[in-house]
């Protein structure tokens, strides 16, 4: 979960209207109500009051949430379940203790079609002493990368990766697990209670204990359930990337459950000889066949590409994977150049945060910010890589089609970079765009990749796609309304080094299996700045790795990470002039003192952030109906 410029006067006027103007089809709704109330999942299901120190903190935290997921109940589209990496409990021991509490999976529930959500946590987190806690077999102190699937019988399944050691060491366990929810009155109960009662968490695979992700670490999760009514109906499928640390190589692994998520088969590797892979996604066609798409990362031997593996026996075995489509990736990168001197703090703000890109001068950086996270270009930006997402329409009895989207560099836009920042390969930049193709599992052929929305301006990143009931729905982040947009700049950066409100969510729909797409519609009501430095001791931004859309027929709902509630501020550790022009910093409160060692050397020591509830960490999940 933590691993990985200007146009004419008339256009600018239109953009300015777009940044604050209304969107369609409705008002944005907040899923993460950490400014008001978190309710125990046990209380939601039973009506019996219960709370604890973590839930109390979550109700006032104004904390960080990212990497959202959401799913409509296929039995009742008024019921939606959502989740995210939820940091709301990290200050549950008070600001003076630092961010030592759990990062966990949110459980967000709506029974009115997404008009409002009640916020909670998946049971089993540290501090959970409700009767549900004993049902969880999760062995870690943190969890993230939430993914959700429903079966056709009122059950919902939350998949996760989880890492931190409850004992507080630097070990990263790297487990993956699935939590189960059902209708407390059984399948025949009112559908408004579907997915309400928690009844356990099962560990699908364990990682190995090692610091700094150097052991066997399972990550990048995907989940789906069979709703076809075939012999595979009710099966739950789970896929993930296994990182092998010091041994090298990454594989895509797959496990299945034939007892509604209570137990899972021993995971099998399905990525074959492809050694550098990530981002699995699972699709199930009407006949119960299972498809797993994933990204092949480019190397001297292989190009960047979309690959797919197929199972015709309900996920028991898979044929060797097939590379379907190559592309020029859109992977933000820079060169690490630590700046501003080392910062000494009496208490770190993010003791569990791992920045994969490292802080060694000259190393490749996937994100950039301040201090050890500073990059040669001087830009501030969140990490992003080309994503591969896929789905199938389980209600389509006439076809065995898998629908694929990915955000690659748009053909014809690659040019040399004018700075150390690159996105289309070393020394190259280009416009990110969302591509679509339809794969026919029966014939092994696919349509030519096509742009869903051939927009001349802005980047399109983190796409997702949903299909159930004959209609496709696609969604992505879009920076077309960014007044500073340029292919030479990271998303949300201006040429002077400042950052701005640059991202919106756009969506499109197709009623003819992707042959044509509707004109893209702006979904978000407010453009948002994704580059606030809220992570790694308030030094670097983090937006997560994906967005999500769910649908049944013409009903669709999308969710995204949003910074509209973040309070900007001053970082007291920085010297003036501020290298990022001040507008990537968030409000924070620190004291400082000068310490003199035995040799007479003086060091300024800063406290940790003593006002984490002031809004500087107020990163939220928002959602809305989509076209």
How many domains does the structure of the chain reveal?
A: 1
Q: Say if residue 562's pLDDT is above 60.
A: yes
Res 391 pLDDT > 70: yes
Does residue 248 sit within a domain?
A: yes
Per-residue burial over 172-205, b = 16 or more CB atoms within 10 Å of its CB, e = otherwise: bbbbbbbbbbbbeeeeeeebebbbbbbbbbbbbb
With a cut of 50, say whether residue 13 has pLDDT above it. no
Residue 586 lies in a domain: yes
What are the tens digits of pLDDT across the range 455-505? 999 999 999 999 999 999 999 999 999 999 999 999 999 999 899 999 999
The predicted pLDDT at position 301 comes to 85
DSSP state of 519: P
| CB within 8 Å of 154: residues ≥ 6 apart | 73, 75, 182, 183, 186, 187, 189, 191, 193, 194, 195
- Averaged confidence pLDDT in the chain: 92
Q: What is the pLDDT of residue 5?
A: 33
Angle at 60 between CA 34 and CA 383, to 5 degrees: 50
Any domain includes 3: no
Tell me the pTM. 0.94
Token reading at 419: 């700075």
Average pLDDT over residues 527-531: 97
- Residue 213 above 90 pLDDT? no
- CB within 8 Å of 11: residues ≥ 6 apart: none
With a CB cutoff of 8 Å and minimum separation 6, the contacts of 429 are 414, 415, 416, 417, 421, 422, 423, 487, 488
- Is 517's pLDDT higher than 70? yes
The share of the chain scoring above pLDDT 90, in percent, equals 82
- Judge if the upstream peptide bond of residue 25 is cis by omega within 30 degrees of 0: yes
Are 238 and 263 spatial neighbours (Cβ–Cβ below 8 Å)?
A: no
Mean pLDDT throughout 378-406?
97
Return contacts of 11-16, CB within 8 angstroms, 24+ apart: 12/483, 15/481, 15/482, 15/483, 16/483
Structure tokens at 355: 């920045």
Would you say residue 18 has pLDDT above 70?
no
Top-confidence residue, 246 or 158: 158
pLDDT reading at 603 higher than 50: yes
Domain coverage including residue 187: 9-625
Lowest mean pLDDT among 28-37, 213-222, 326-335, 588-597: 213-222
- In this predicted structure, what is the pLDDT of residue 11? 34
d(CA 626, CA 623): 9
pLDDT at 212: 60
Q: Kindly state whether residue 489 falls inside one of the protein's structural domains.
A: yes
> pLDDT for 121-135, tens place per residue?
999 999 999 999 999
Q: Which of 471, 439, 436, 470 lies closest to 454, judged by CA?
A: 436
Please give the Cα distance from 444 to 320 (Å, whole number). Answer: 13
104-110 vs 76-86, strand pairing mode: antiparallel
DSSP 324: E
Cβ neighbours of residue 510 closer than 8 Å, sequence gap 6 or more = 471, 472, 474, 516, 517, 518
The reply to whether 214 falls in a domain is yes
Q: Tell me the average pLDDT across 568-584.
A: 77
pLDDT value at 305 more than 90: yes
The whole-angstrom separation of Cα 609 and Cα 94 is 11
Confidence band for 244, pLDDT divided at 50, 70 and 90:
confident
Per-residue pLDDT tens digits for 394-451: 999 999 999 999 999 999 999 999 999 999 999 999 999 999 999 999 999 999 999 9
Q: How would residue 143 be classed by pLDDT, with cut points 50, 70 and 90?
A: very high
Task: Check whether 7 has a pLDDT greater than 70.
Answer: no
Q: What is the per-residue pLDDT for 6?
A: 27
**Alpha-carbon dihedral 529, 523, 109, 80, rounded to 10 degrees:** -140
In a domain, 4, yes or no: no
Model confidence at 627, pLDDT cuts 50, 70, 90, reads very high
Instruction: Please name the residues in contact with 457: beta carbons below 8 A apart, sequence gap of 6 or more.
Output: 7, 480, 485
What is the 3 state secondary structure string of 252-282? EEEEEECCCCCCCCCCEECCCCCCCEEEEEE
* Within a domain: 189: yes
What pLDDT is stored for residue 8 in this prediction? 33
**How many whole angstroms separate alpha carbon 260 and alpha carbon 589?**
48
pLDDT at 577: 62
Q: What is the pLDDT, as a whole number, of residue 273?
A: 87
Predicted confidence (pLDDT) at residue 526 exceeds the cutoff of 70: yes
Total residues found in the chain within this entry: 627
| pLDDT(247) > 80 | no
Instruction: Of 571, 158, 165, 96, give the one whose Cα is nearest residue 373.
Output: 571
CATH number of the domain to which 528 belongs: 2.120.10.10
**CB 134: neighbour CB atoms within 10 A?**
12
476 lies in some domain:
yes
């Amino acid at each position: 979960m933590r691993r990985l410029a200007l146009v004419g006067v008339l256009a600018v006027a239109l953009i300015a209207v777009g940044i604050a103007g209304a969107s369609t089809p409705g008002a944005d709704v907040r899923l993460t109500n950490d400014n008001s109330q978190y309710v125990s999942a046990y209380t939601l299901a039973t009506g019996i009051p219960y709370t604890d120190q973590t839930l109390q903190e979550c109700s006032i935290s104004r904390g960080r949430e990212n990497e959202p997921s959401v799913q409509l109940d296929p039995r009742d589209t008024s019921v939606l379940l959502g989740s995210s990496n939820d940091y709301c409990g990290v200050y549950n021991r008070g600001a003076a203790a630092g961010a030592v509490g759990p990062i966990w999976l949110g459980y967000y529930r709506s029974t009115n079609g997404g008009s409002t959500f009640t916020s909670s946590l998946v049971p089993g987190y540290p501090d959970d002493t409700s009767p549900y806690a004993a049902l969880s077999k999760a062995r870690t102190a943190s969890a993230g990368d939430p993914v959700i699937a429903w079966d056709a019988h009122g059950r919902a399944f939350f998949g996760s990766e989880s890492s931190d050691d409850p004992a507080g060491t630097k070990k990263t366990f790297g487990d993956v697990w699935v939590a189960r929810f059902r209708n407390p009155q059984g399948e025949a109960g009112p559908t408004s209670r579907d997915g309400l009662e928690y009844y356990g968490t099962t560990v699908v695979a364990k990682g190995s204990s090692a610091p700094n992700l150097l052991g066997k670490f399972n990550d990048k999760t995907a989940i789906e359930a069979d709703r076809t009514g075939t012999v595979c109906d009710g099966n739950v499928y789970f896929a993930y990337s296994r990182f092998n640390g010091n041994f090298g190589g990454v594989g895509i692994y797959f496990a299945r459950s034939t007892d509604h998520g209570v137990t899972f088969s021993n995971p099998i590797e399905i990525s074959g000889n492809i050694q550098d892979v990530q981002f699995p996604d699972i699709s199930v066609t009407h006949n119960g066949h299972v498809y797993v798409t994933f990204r092949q990362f480019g190397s001297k031997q292989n190009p960047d590409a979309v690959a797919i593996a197929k199972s015709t026996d309900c996920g028991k075995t898979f044929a060797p994977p097939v590379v379907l489509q190559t592309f020029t990736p859109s992977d933000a990168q820079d060169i690490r150049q630590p700046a501003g001197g080392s910062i000494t703090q009496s208490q770190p703000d993010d003791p569990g945060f791992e920045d994969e890109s490292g802080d060694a001068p000259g190393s490749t950086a996937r994100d950039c910010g301040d201090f050890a996270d500073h990059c040669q270009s001087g830009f501030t930006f969140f990490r992003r890589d080309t994503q591969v997402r896929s789905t199938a329409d389980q209600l389509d009895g006439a076809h065995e089609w898998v629908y694929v989207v990915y955000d690659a560099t748009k053909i014809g836009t690659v040019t040399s970079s004018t700075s150390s920042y690159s996105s289309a390969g070393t020394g190259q930049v280009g416009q990110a765009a969302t591509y679509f193709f339809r794969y026919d599992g029966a014939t092994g052929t696919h349509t030519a990749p096509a742009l869903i929305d051939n927009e001349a301006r802005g980047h399109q990143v983190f796409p997702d796609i949903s299909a159930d009931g004959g209609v496709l729905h696609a969604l992505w982040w879009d920076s077309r309304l960014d007044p500073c947009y340029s292919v030479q700049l990271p998303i949300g950066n201006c040429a002077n080094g400042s950052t701005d409100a640059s991202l919106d969510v756009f969506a499109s729909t197709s009623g003819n299996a992707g042959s044509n797409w509707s004109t893209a519609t702006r979904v978000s009501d407010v453009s948002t700045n994704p580059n606030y430095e809220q992570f790694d001791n308030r030094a670097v931004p983090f937006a997560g790795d994906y967005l999500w859309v769910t649908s049944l027929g013409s009903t669709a709902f999308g969710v995204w990470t949003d910074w509209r509630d973040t309070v900007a501020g001053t970082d007291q550790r920085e010297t003036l002039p501020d290298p990022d022009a001040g507008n990537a910093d968030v409000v924070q409160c620190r004291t400082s003192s000068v310490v003199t060692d035995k040799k007479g050397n003086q060091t300024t020591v800063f406290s940790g952030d003593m006002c984490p509830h002031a809004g500087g960490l107020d990163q939220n999940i928002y959602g809305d109906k989509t076209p």
